[in-house]
């Protein structure tokens, strides 16, 4: 998804797609989706998922913490605010 979109729109496309997937996929599946992306989009994917899970769960952090436990070590900094 979003691969054939012009680069100036890719980030917004990815955010919208992730926003929709959060309501239909498990955190494991969401992590797999992010892992399938090229490195330049992976952090946008992870950040978007964190944002949308918090919205979906009305500010409860259990699922965000679970998602953060699954992501690659190099992206853990995106979860720092959640885990503190």
**Tens of pLDDT along the chain (84 residues)?**
787 889 899 999 999 999 999 999 999 999 999 999 988 889 999 999 999 999 999 988 899 999 999 999 999 999 987 755
| pTM, rounded to two decimals | 0.88
pLDDT of residue 45: 94
- Three-state DSSP class for residue 4: coil
pLDDT of residue 84: 56
pLDDT of residue 83: 59
Residue 80 has a CB neighbour count (10 Å cut-off) of 9
Residues 6+ apart with CB under 8 A from 31: 67, 70, 71
Please answer whether residues 64 and 79 qualify as being in contact, where contact means their C-beta atoms are separated by less than 8 angstroms: yes
Residues 6+ apart with CB under 8 A from 43: 75, 78
Tens-digit pLDDT profile for residues 35-57: 999 888 899 999 999 999 999 99
Q: What is the CA radius of gyration of the chain?
A: 12
């Amino acid at each position: 998804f979003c691969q054939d979109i012009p680069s100036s729109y890719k980030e917004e496309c990815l955010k919208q797609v992730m926003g929709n997937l959060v309501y239909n996929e498990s955190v494991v599946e969401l992590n797999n989706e992010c892992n399938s992306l090229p490195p330049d989009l992976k952090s946008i994917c992870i950040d978007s998922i964190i944002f949308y899970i918090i919205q979906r769960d009305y500010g409860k952090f259990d699922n965000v913490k679970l998602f953060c436990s699954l992501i690659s070590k190099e992206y853990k900094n995106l979860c720092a605010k959640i885990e503190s």
